[in-house]
Amino acid sequence: MHKFSPVSWKVLFRRLKDLGFEGPLYGGKHPYMKKGTLILTIPNPHKKDIGIPLLMKILKQANISKKEWLQD
């Protein structure tokens, strides 16, 4: 990955796991992932890609920089 682009739910989940998050966990309307005391709500799995605006919002809440996200 070298530039921001929409990602599938599967890619979002895998990258968050690579960055230290546990889950997905379920209990409510949306799944969530945890890293230490941080709880990150993620979208429900669906067929469409997660767009850049939502991806940016998720990364901001997860305290993940653009550089961290784009690292292979």
Q: What is the pLDDT of residues 8-50, one digit of tens each?
A: 999 999 999 999 999 988 988 889 999 999 999 998 887 889 9
**The pLDDT value given to residue 54:** 93
pTM: 0.85
Q: Exposure of 34 by Cβ count < 10 A (0-12 exposed, 13-18 middle, 19+ buried)?
A: middle
- Angle, CA of 6, 65 and 15, to the nearest 5°: 55
pLDDT of the residue at 4: 83
Q: Which one is predicted more confidently, 1 or 59?
A: 59
Cis peptide before 24 (omega within 30 of 0): yes
Q: Cα 21 to chain center, whole Å? A: 9
CATH class of 9-64: alpha beta
Domain boundaries, the chain: 9-64
Q: Does residue 61 have a pLDDT over 90?
A: yes
Residue 38 forms beta bridges with which residues? Answer: 35
Q: Give ∠ CA 60-70-46 in degrees, rounded to 5.
A: 70
